[in-house]
Structure 1
Amino acid sequence: MLRIFLTIKLFNIICSIYFFKKVGGQLKIKLTSFFLLLICTIYYSVYVEPTSIRTKHLIFSDNRLNSNTTIKLIQISDTHFNNKKDIERFKKVIKNINQMKPDFILFTGDLVSDIRKFSYKNEVIRLLKELNPKIGKLAIYGNHDHGGYFTEQYEELLTESNFILLKNEEKTYYVQKQKVSFIGLDDYMLGNKQYNDILDRIQKNSYTVVLAHEPDIADLTKTYPINLQLSGHSHGGQIYLPLYKSFIMPPYAKKYNRGVYTLSSKYNSHLVVSNGIGTTKLPIRLFTPPEIVSIEITGQNKK
């Protein structure tokens, strides 16, 4: 409906340009240029950027891993499935991810915008099953995954899709004989916020990745010997202007809202905040393209 409304508004704007006959020449040129720019911007933000999914490539290294070790992670976040078009678009995401042959696929929450209005659960399960990493698929709750009485359904859906759902839990793997731990925190807004018990168990000899939907939790996690925190939630603001930054950020994504941050030089820890794939409230994006995040972790220890 919003797309139809915006299309009508675009038509009205175009028509209004022809009513500038009594306006002076220079002003008419300026107004016409302004309206044309506005039309192009609206069209791009509604029809182009939301479907232009990019892959962001990042590399981190750490001395907790041997120098001959390379671990490949893929982070996807905030799919916010709403309709059949979202399902079809995600097929390209799956193809791109599987071609990269990651060791792990990590989902950082907000699968569906509103489960009460969503009727494609079986299609989502089928698609998520097609994601095929070498080692494992892990996920956490986002605020939308708890909302609308979705908590239990979300767990069932992910389990059927062969994902391991971490709720203030840790999952440890040995990759190329190196210990790698994933800690999944429950959603801060609607879940269980008792994080200290699981964070207190972090071992300094293990490369540790924390999955936390809301990025501002990093002010807590950076006090622990973690290596990497992966978050979403903010969508990068959906609308981002270089001079004004993002107009609206959700709660707990005010301080850290897009891109990569260094959290602690002591622990060599970083935070990655994904723009996510879907949208909420308004189906628009401007200078905040949807993204898959590809992360390569390499070792520095030459022992």
Structure 2
Amino acid sequence: MFQQKIKWKCVISLILFMFPIATYLYASHFETKSLSITWTDIKNPNIPESFQNVKIVQFSDTHFGPNFSHKQQKMLIDQINEINPDIVVFTGDLIDKFREYTSEKKYSQTILSQIHAPLGKYAVFGNHDRGGGGGYLYEQYMEEAGFTVLVNETIKIKASNDDYITISGLDDFLLGKPKVQHTLQHLQEKDFNILLVHEPDAVDEVLEYPVDFQVSGHSHGGQVQLPFIGPIITTSLAKQYVEGMYSLKGKSKPLQLYVNRGIGTTRMPIRFWSKPELSVFLLKN
């Protein structure tokens, strides 16, 4: 009986010793390299008939750097192209430390340029794109990869006929100079209006305007979550809205907000219970 107790104590001690090691290995080597693809129907009466079933793919927070290899980048772009999107949007934080990412930068740009989207590829600044030496380089870098970078501006995306939807982009709220009123004041209630902005909590300033759908990132879904508890740490301007879809009441019409968990990592190269995410939105009239 005494020997059996010692045996069980040894087994329990071994489990307690191995569990944190196994958790760390999973968080650093497996979950960071996995990918969750989330499909969501966006139903709105303002979507024109010619945009019925148009497919939008969002990716965000790639944080290219030493913890995100070119092989992973190529796999990500291949996965985006396999979805066959009509529109691709990137919601900020491309490179973790822009100034330090030197020799790798050009090849990453070549990989990004391989994304195909017949109705356009659009991007906004994130805080890592404004900081770390990227403020003067990011826009040109993305445009050379085939993206239209929206900095406090709105454009129309037109289908084969005169139908259109609008897509707006605001500058980063932490390190940039977002101009909310200037950018959104001329939006029409009758149109279907999409907004790209890196930080999701900026939505509180957006509710005054007729935006139908805000697409954001920044949060990483907390990057590390615990079951039944959720994110251990949330970052500035991603504390109220952390991941997934939120339905909000705007001043003139309802607003849907989607917060993408992002692809890469920052500060620590780990993810736990917060898988990297590609978001796919199917427009429905």
Does the alignment reach a TM-score above 0.5? yes
SS class of match (2:241): coil
Q: Residues 41-120 of structure 1: matches in 2 within 5 Å?
A: 41-66=23-48, 69-83=52-66, 85-119=68-102, 120=104
Partner deviation per Cα, 1:140-165 (whole Å, 9 max, x = no partner):
00000010221111011011111111
Aligned length: 278
Query: Where does residue 243 of structure 1 map in the other structure?
Result: 228
TM-score of the superposition, structure 1-length normalised? 0.87
Distance of aligned partners of 1:86 and 1:267 in 2 relative to their CA distance in 1, 3 Å threshold: farther
Query: Where does residue 183 of structure 1 map in the other structure?
Result: 168
- Tell me which amino acid in the other structure corresponds to 1:174: K
| Larger proportion of helix | 1
**Which of the numbers 229, 246, 261 marks the counterpart of 1:261?**
246
Structure 1 contact 140–186 (Cα < 8 Å) conserved: yes
Q: Distance in 2 between matches of 1:85 and 1:215?
A: 24
Root-mean-square deviation (CA, aligned residues, Å) is 1.8
Deviation at 1:94, TM superposition (A): 0.9
Partner deviation per Cα, 1:14-45 (whole Å, 9 max, x = no partner):
xxxxxxx9x94444333222222222211110
1:193 aligns with 2:182: no
Q: Distance in 2 between matches of 1:180 and 1:188?
A: 24
Q: Distance in 2 between matches of 1:296 and 1:173?
A: 16
Q: Distance in 1 between matches of 2:202 and 2:68?
A: 33
Q: Distance in 2 between matches of 1:84 and 1:284?
A: 10
1:134 aligns with 2:121: no
TM-score of the superposition, structure 2-length normalised? 0.92
Structure 1 contact 78–278 (Cα < 8 Å) conserved: yes
**Which of the numbers 148, 152, 162 marks the counterpart of 2:136?**
152
Deviation at 1:215, TM superposition (A): 0.4
Structure 2 contact 59–278 (Cα < 8 Å) conserved: yes
Distance of aligned partners of 1:66 and 1:148 in 2 relative to their CA distance in 1, 3 Å threshold: closer
Structure 1 contact 138–165 (Cα < 8 Å) conserved: yes
Query: Where does residue 13 of structure 1 map in the other structure?
Result: none
Query: Where does residue 108 of structure 2 map in the other structure?
Result: 124
Deviation at 1:193, TM superposition (A): 2.6
Deviation at 1:209, TM superposition (A): 0.6
Gaps of 5+ in 2: none
SS class of match (2:131): helix
Q: Distance in 2 between matches of 1:45 and 1:216?
A: 27
